[in-house]
Amino acid sequence: MPRTEQANQRLREAQREKILLGARKVFAQKGISATMDDIAAAAAVSHGLAYRYFASKEELFYELIKQILDADPAGVRGLAEEAGTAWERLASLISRLMESRRRFPEVYQLMDQVQRSEKAPANLLEQIRRQREIFFETMRQLIIEGQAEASIIAGDPDQLLMAVSIWLEGINRWKLLDPQRIDKHWPDVGIALRMLKAGADERNG
């Protein structure tokens, strides 16, 4: 019995997603130098099938980045609507950022690849820049609010923000350089939070 058009559409969508998942893994490791043969092998599809869905590896690469930007995997954009104190929201954000890096390391490796590519389209780089600024502005505001409620240590908010950013970027690097070691000794989010948590004297002062 022949497949219905709906069944064919579902099959096409499944094949396309399979190719994208394979490409995500390959590009995270090799960057834009990866070939369509690499991608087809990772996706377990034929070379010709990969080209049937994507005209070039560049088209695949930038489609992946667009998906990541649209998805907001750590939920930064929705944080403003969440209830709770500044400390609770900041702790929630850092927890999600770390968990996102643990579960989807290739997402952050891809973002790093595109920012270092000389061929990346200007509009894509601008989208990445805007998303990064949303992250910085959101976290900086939470730090300032937390300092006002005495739940976050005193100090320059931009320096505290940079310390957290370096922590998160370090996780990205370790996931790429030695994933087995960092997975074995994955740092508890409480370690990162202790960098920011005000002591009893600050809370009572």
Contact 19, 53 (CB under 8 A): yes
The residues, any chain, with a CB within 8 Å of residue 141's CB and separated by 6 or more, are none
What's the confidence (pLDDT) of residue 80? Answer: 58
Weakest-pLDDT range from 17-26, 109-118, 181-190:
109-118
Position with higher pLDDT, 204 vs 174: 174
C-alpha angle with apex 202: 199 to 204, nearest 5 degrees? 105
pLDDT at 81 over 90: no
Q: What are phi and psi of 17, to 5 degrees?
A: -65, -35
Question: Mind listing the pLDDT tens digit for each residue in 53-80?
Answer: 888 888 888 888 888 777 765 566 666 5
Extract the tokens encoding 164.
């957290």
Question: Mind listing the pLDDT tens digit for each residue in 10-56?
Answer: 888 889 889 988 888 888 777 777 899 999 999 998 888 889 988 88
Exposed/middle/buried for residue 138 (C-beta within 10 Å: 0-12, 13-18, 19+): middle
Position with higher pLDDT, 38 vs 202: 38
What's the confidence (pLDDT) of residue 103? Answer: 85
pLDDT at 122 over 90: no
What's the confidence (pLDDT) of residue 201? Answer: 55
Nearest C-alpha neighbor of 23 from the set 49, 41, 10: 41
Query: What domains sit in the chain, N to C, each tagged with a CATH number?
Result: 1-58 (1.10.10.60), 72-204 (1.10.357.10)
What's the confidence (pLDDT) of residue 28? Answer: 76
Q: Please give the full DSSP string across the chain, using - where no structure is assigned.
A: -PPPHHHHHHHHHHHHHHHHHHHHHHHHHHGGG--HHHHHHHHT--HHHHHHH-SSHHHHHHHHHHHHHHH-TT--TTGGG--S-HHHHHHHHHHHHHHHHHH-HHHHHHHHHHHH-TT--HHHHHHHHHHHHHHHHHHHHHHHHHHHTT-B--S-HHHHHHHHHHHHHHHHHHHHH-HHHHHHTPPPHHHHHHTTBPPHHHHH-
Mean pLDDT in residue range 5-13:
81
